[in-house]
Amino acid sequence: MKILKKILAITAITIIFSTVLRSIFLNNTAIAEDSKQRTTIRVGLFSADLNDDYLIFLRKNFEDIQNQHPNEVIFTFYDAKFNQSTQNAELDTKLNEGIDLILLDMVNVNDIGDLINKISKYEIPVIVFNREPLTMDAIKSYKKALYVGTDSKQAGTLQGKIITDAWNNHKDLIDKNKDNVLQYIMLIGERLNKTSIDRSAYSISTIQQAGIKTEELASPVLNWDRETAQNTVDALFLRLGSKVEAIISNDDSMAIGATKALQKYGYNTGNKSKVIPIVGVDGVPEAKELISKGFMLGSPVQDTSVMANAIYTIGSNLVHGINPIEGTAYKLDESEAAIRIPYEEYTGPMFQ
- Asked if 125 and 221 sit in the same domain, the reply is no
| Burial class of 283 by CB neighbour count within 10 A (0 to 12, 13 to 18, 19+) | buried
Q: Is residue 27 part of a domain?
A: no
Q: How many domains are there within the chain?
A: 2
- Asked if 158 and 176 sit in the same domain, the reply is yes
What pLDDT was estimated at residue 242?
87
- Look up the pTM and report it: 0.85
- Asked if 136 and 189 sit in the same domain, the reply is no
- Asked if 159 and 283 sit in the same domain, the reply is yes
Q: Is residue 33 part of a domain?
A: no
Q: Is residue 34 part of a domain?
A: no
- Asked if 81 and 168 sit in the same domain, the reply is no
CA distance 199 to 193: 10
- Asked if 290 and 160 sit in the same domain, the reply is yes
Q: Measure Cα distances from 40 to 74, 75, 311 in Å.
A: 7, 10, 16
What pLDDT was estimated at residue 352?
85
Q: Which helix (H) or strand (E) holds 220?
A: none
What pLDDT was estimated at residue 15?
47
- Asked if 67 and 89 sit in the same domain, the reply is yes
List strand residue ranges (DSSP E) for 101-156, in order.
101-104, 126-128, 145-149
- Asked if 281 and 163 sit in the same domain, the reply is yes
Residue 236: count other Cβ atoms within 10 Å of its Cβ.
20
Q: Is residue 236 part of a domain?
A: yes
CATH of the domain at 327: 3.40.50.2300
- Asked if 233 and 326 sit in the same domain, the reply is no
- Asked if 201 and 118 sit in the same domain, the reply is no
Query: What sign for the dihedral angle of Cα 274, 277, 283, 284?
Result: negative
- Asked if 231 and 142 sit in the same domain, the reply is no
- Asked if 230 and 120 sit in the same domain, the reply is no
Q: Is residue 253 part of a domain?
A: yes
Q: Is residue 256 part of a domain?
A: yes
Contact 127, 135 (CB under 8 A): no
| Burial class of 261 by CB neighbour count within 10 A (0 to 12, 13 to 18, 19+) | buried
For residue 170, the enclosing domain spans 153-301
Residue 30: count other Cβ atoms within 10 Å of its Cβ.
10
Q: Is residue 12 part of a domain?
A: no
Q: Is residue 320 part of a domain?
A: yes
Nearest in space to 302 (alpha carbons), one of 174, 129, 186, 168 = 129
pLDDT along the chain (352 residues), means of 10: 47 45 43 50 97 96 96 96 96 96 95 96 97 95 97 97 98 96 98 95 98 98 97 97 96 98 96 95 97 98 96 97 96 96 96 88
* 172 Cβ contact partners less than 8 Å away, ≥ 6 residues apart: none
What pLDDT was estimated at residue 326?
96
Conformational region of residue 146, where left means phi above 0, alpha means psi within -120 to 50, and beta covers everything else: beta
What pLDDT was estimated at residue 3?
52
